[in-house]
Amino acid sequence: GAVVSQHPSRVICKSGTSVKIECRSLDFQATTMFWYRQFPKQSLMLMATSNEGSKATYEQGVEKDKFLINHASLTLSTLTVTSAHPEDSSFYICSARWGRIYNEQFFGPGTRLTVL
């Protein structure tokens, strides 16, 4: 149980285009999902916390107009990178909070974004 999927797994786009990444909890309902960004050989950097039916909470320094997050249902959250530029190239990973009591979070497989 507690499986999280992401789509697409890999995307290459041209500079200036927008890219949408989907995060789904497959076998549980997640009221909270988290979006991370990870650079090579570095730790996970939290970008935002996404709660179902409400606006996402962004971490300091993350541009909310550039990284649009929508959590429309208990099993789906999306991250849209708007007007992507090469510096947005990174590994984006979502996680979904599963534990009703403890803060158990399960991660998706990640999306590799390359902006040319």
Assess 89 for contact with another protein (CB under 8 A): no
Applying CB under 8 A, does 108 fall inside the site for another protein? Answer: yes
Tell me the number of residues near another protein by CB under 8 A. 28
* 78 touches another protein by CB under 8 A: no
SS3 for 82-93, per residue? CCCCHHHCEEEE
Upstream peptide bond of 8 is cis (omega within 30 degrees of 0): yes
Q: How far apart are CA 105 and CA 36, in angstroms?
A: 12
Closest CB to another protein among 25 and 32?
Answer: 32
Specify the residue for token string 């649009």: 68
Question: Does the protein bind another protein through residue 110 (CB under 8 A)?
Answer: yes
Site mask for another protein (CB under 8 A), range 26-45, x = bound: -----xx-x------xxxx-
Residue 101 class from Cβ within 10 Å (0-12 exposed, 13-18 middle, 19+ buried)?
exposed
Stretch that binds another protein, among 13-21, 66-74, 82-90, 92-100 (CB under 8 A): 92-100
Q: Give least dist CB 115 to another protein, A.
A: 18
